[in-house]
Amino acid sequence: MPHIRRLPEELVNRIAAGEVVERPAAALKEVVENAIDSGARRIAVRLVEGGLGLIEVTDDGCGMSPAEMSLALERHATSKLPDDAIEQVTTLGFRGEALPSIASVSRFTLESRPHDAGEGWRKVVDHGRFAADGPAALPPGTRVRIEQLFAQVPARRKFLRSERSEYAACLDVVRRLAMARPDLAFTLEHGGRRVLHAQGGETVAERVSGIIARELSDNGVAIDLERGDMRLTGVAGLPTYNRGVADHQYLFVNGRPVKDRLLTGAVRGAYADMLARDRQAVLALFLDLPPEDVDVNVHPAKTEVRFRDAAAVRGFIVWGLRQALSTGDRRSSQGPDRQAMERWQAEPVAPAFRSMFEGQGAGDSHAALREQPAAWRAPADTPLAEPHGRAEESEPASADAAQFPLGIARGQVARTYIVAESADGLVLVDQHAAHERLVLERLRAAGAGEAVARAQALLIPDVVELDEPACDRLEAAAPKLAGMGLGIERFGPNAMLVRSLPHALAGADPAKLLTDIADDLALHGEALLLGEKLDLVLATMACHGSVRAGRTLSVAEMNALLREMERTPRSGQCNHGRPTWVKLKMDDVEKLFGRH
């Protein structure tokens, strides 16, 4: 029978590394967190080949003596827990297994010098085996070099992604940690080029808008709320300022970047009735609560947490976000009366409209509603609100008007909704959602034939600035996008040059278009077939080529939109799953006015 044996220390560290160091970004996160815990004011990160070739982190923290350096390379040795009260953790690191785990799967160089020491010391561990030990010249602080990561663990290295993907993950780690500590200065260099530089001493709003997007400062609201021992701060983007993926949602608990389902669900619940299902909020939230009310010892990666009172935390975040957005976004409207909405019913558009409405005509009850309005004049001292509806004098309906399932256009409300009269009721159409579906079907049909897939060249190419990972994704998809008429090429590390747009979208905003396409590619990743990716991109392109809410349409344009909806399959819902039109039966109209 097999005998139970004690595993060697080197093998134990490699097993632990499987949880702690799954990719270069995980190793980088552990080292930068140690730098923050050391009291550093400036942290410099240098990467080569996306972290696969080299990860170097330099800080000006407290430093370590040679004896402390040796102890730090042993498992479960840490300065973060002065006693056994693990529920009172206030630092980012505390488990004491990151450095030995990293050193077991890489060539690890640790150099450090305390502020009161005349010289520094250097220790080198080569894939778990001690390699060198001696003095080193460096300023007070600590420098960590990680080279040849997973070089002797081929089973792990072959599962790593491309250099660009690993670099994007490392960049995200530094961004999150820099956002958590706006008082510290961070720099990041990749391949000899500086890609991030954050000055210390900034406010939370300045650091967040500087890292996420400059326009967030004009399209977001500041949050600073308290409830009992909990405090919520940060910046929340307005519902109208959103993205296609949730990778611009940064969540922190007691200064620790986390990816927690409870917090993500709370954000989704707060924005539930203000965002489309496929759009995601842009925000950075900092939740602070007593350490004993949150468990950070859930996983070695320390990105998951557990709350003692999860319901209270979720309720506080939902309430806080809604409270902030109610003061910052006056475009949000209250929901209509439930009893009134129960009289409305959404009807899907069937492929064959004539079969649905065959044999139905305008009822005689319509005549009962056609009463002559009495002349009315407002008193001179009565202020009148600006009307939000608009109606034009239209020609009499044709004899076959009863054959139109969506009716004849009678006006426009709020420059967004078309009001039409059908044979058996009133139809309300969301012009943007409806036209979005029509444009998508046109683009899909155009993709079936090469003759229609033509590009509209721009007189002056447009330069669109994006972050480097987004440019990488767009550059990889550029050949296929060119086949649909979108001609783009790389224009430096953080910009794309737009040379042409699809003919159907000649008036679209290139910057917004490229941002959403990059988000779509990031959301659906490399697991999807390229054809499926581009089909999702096509839906995004259709959104930009459709009639926007707020555009005034003539009666002829409204009727043309209704007729095309009747001819287009799947026009009953937009590309995001929302209904494009609803109908109120004439019987329900009469009930509202007490005629039945």
**What is d(CA 232, CA 324) in angstroms, rounded to the nearest whole number?**
11
Q: What are phi and psi of 570, to 5 degrees?
A: 60, 25
Task: Dump pLDDT digits (tens) for 235-253.
Answer: 998 877 888 888 889 999 9
Q: Could you tell me the pLDDT band of residue 385, with boundaries at 50, 70 and 90? A: very low
Mean pLDDT estimate for the chain: 79
Query: How distant is the alpha carbon of residue 278 from its chain centre?
Result: 10
pLDDT score at 290 = 92
pLDDT score at 576 = 63
- 3-state SS, residue 169: helix
pLDDT score at 345 = 45
Residues pairing with 353 in the sheet: none
Give the number of residues written for the chain: 596
pLDDT score at 570 = 65
Say if residue 376's pLDDT is above 60.
no
Contact (CB, 8 A) for 229 and 293: yes
* Residue 187 neighbours by CB under 8 Å, 6+ apart: 42, 43, 44, 45, 194, 196, 197, 198
Side-chain-facing half-sphere of 392: CA atoms under 13 Å? 14
Domains within the chain, CATH numbers bracketed: 9-198 (3.30.565.10), 204-328 (3.30.230.10), 454-544 (3.30.1370.100)
Q: 343 or 415: which carries more pLDDT confidence?
A: 415
Say if residue 527's pLDDT is above 80.
no
- 3-state SS, residue 449: coil
Q: Residue type for 3, please?
A: H
Say if residue 363's pLDDT is above 70.
no
Q: 583 or 570: which carries more pLDDT confidence?
A: 583
